[in-house]
Amino acid sequence: MPQLRIALAQVNACVGDLRGNADVVVDWTCRAARSGARLVVFPEMVLTGYPVEDLAIRQSFARASGRALEELAGRLEEAGCGDVAAFVGYLDLDELGVRNAVAVLHGGRVVARQYKHHLPNYGVFDERRYFEPGTTLDVVRIDGLEVGVVICEDLWQDGGPIAALGHAGVDLVVSPNASPYERKKDDTRFELVARRAVEAAVPLVYANLIGGQDELVFDGDSMVVGADGSLITRAPQFVEHLTVLDLDLPGGAPRAEGDVEGFTVTRTVLTADPVAAYDPLPVPRPAEPLSDEAEVWHALVTGLRDYVRKNGFRSVVLGLSGGIDSAVVAALSVDALGADAVHGVSMPSSYSSEHSKSDARDMAERTGLHYEEQPIAGMVEAFVEQLGLTGLAEENVQARCRGVTLMGLSNQHGHLVLATGNKTELAVGYSTIYGDAVGGFAPIKDVLKTKVWDLARWRNAEAEKHDEVPPIPENSISKPPSAELRPGQLDTDSLPDYELLDDVLDDYVEGDKGHADLLAVGFAPELIERVLTMVDRAEYKRRQYPPGTKISNKAFGRDRRLPVTNAWREG
């Protein structure tokens, strides 16, 4: 039975960084070559980064991508790894338009190209806006074995390219992907890849990006599945990783020529004859799956780290209130960037409790982040007296003085300001626009309040497991949450209990359920009316909120695009 040694390069690309991404491809292809691999599969659009959004409309960028690809083929040959067939995703431009494409680089040349057929147009995807679909399947023969390609969404379609490749008689299918993370998606992915491998009746190699790109984060989770749908190996999530393994492939399947299942099949021969048998490698053990809290934490750390670094910031600053949200954001920041790059600021007003200051200080001592106090009572008094503010206006000016303080420190020292609001608050508008909502990035924007508590407990437990100091003060977790904008204020003065509120939001925001659906679930009519009114009225605030890492199937922003001016109401 013929053998083929393959490599999956699960790497982190940056949108627009053609030179840097090409360096990554050269580096990891050479690693694959040193391991004896005959082919290496990179993620979708690894050369350009993904998603490129409206960069795809600029022909200058598409042409630069094509030039970078040609140069990359030569660089691989010069680096001594040109004998490895490198499957590299890039942006192509031909006479019909812009394409989401994969090229095969071998012997210093671009020897084959495959275009994506199915262009997703849902959730965060908008590929029909940018790309022209492909109509051909280019099969590559390596060591006497035939390898077909399906690109990301092509894998999610019943029938289509995967079935056509099966009927064409390929021995292996490789699938470059840029599949964004959301909670528990790894289970869905495996079931899909297993189903498609069985459909094509050949092993399937799935290579996915890792890293953060604006709101999106990619978790890797690359895998190899056998023709019977069994898992052969799986890469860890949220880290760059090279998986190398030997596949025993049957070979000799009947080769269909010409059109198959509506697709034109072409063939490119790289090396026609099998090479000598390899000294077999042990099959890499599949990575252990992460728990839900571990998966979410790693996603948030990755998204924050890459947003900061890829945008050229060296440090972050945030308000430390002593509460759970700012404590979790601070702990995420320290894990992502290191304590020396994190600056926490306590900004007590005349209504701030002693524990809000002591808990913030405790958080700083536990993590080693930079800490300072900047009292705002004098600033607030100046605004209140000059403008004659009372009630809600007086409360909100406290939050806005804090926002001005953080932005001033940002301008002075070059820090990126982090907003610390969570998804529950953002949903119901429980934040002050131009106050606690200021910032360049919002790490827990897509995390419901109850999940914030879960993450805090998980992170502290992880620290204890490793004999480390738990980063989050227990008092920040256990005390009733409060904005402390007036004497004795608690969140429950303005909001339903968070457990109940998050249940309603999960159905209304992420599940798109209407008033009648929520009644049928069993929520009280007055609760439904109250929550839905708050959510609908807060759209203008959400539209002006900073970006933040997406972890759910429907995050505020590209996933959920409702008009600000909107007279429709449920009920």
Residue bearing tokens 């079931």: 191
Q: Is 154 helix (H, G, I), strand (E, B) or coil?
A: helix
Distance CA 84, CA 102 (A): 15
Q: Is 44 a catalytic residue?
A: yes
Whether the CA torsion 97, 98, 103, 108 is positive or negative: it is positive
Residue bearing tokens 């933040």: 548
What does residue 4 show for φ and ψ, rounded to 5 degrees?
-140, 125
Question: 365 and 354 in contact (C-beta within 8 Å)?
Answer: no
Question: 223 and 193 in contact (C-beta within 8 Å)?
Answer: yes
CA atoms within 13 A on the CB side of 165: 34
Distance CA 339, CA 540 (A): 35
Q: Is 53 a catalytic residue?
A: no
The DSSP call for residue 510 is I
Q: Which of 44, 295, 425, 484 is catalytic?
A: 44
CA dihedral 276, 280, 281, 287 (to 10 degrees): 110
Distance CA 28, CA 7 (A): 9
Q: Which of 14, 81, 116, 401 is catalytic?
A: 116
Q: Which of 14, 81, 152, 401 is catalytic?
A: 152
Neighbouring CB atoms inside 10 A of 465's CB total 8
Bond prior to 547 in cis (omega within 30° of 0) = no
The DSSP call for residue 487 is T
**CA 424-428-429 angle, 5° bins:** 110
Q: Is 6 helix (H, G, I), strand (E, B) or coil?
A: strand
Distances (CA, A) of 423 to 82, 290, 428, 448, 529: 48, 23, 9, 5, 19
Q: Is 116 a catalytic residue?
A: yes
- Residues labelled catalytic: 44, 116, 152
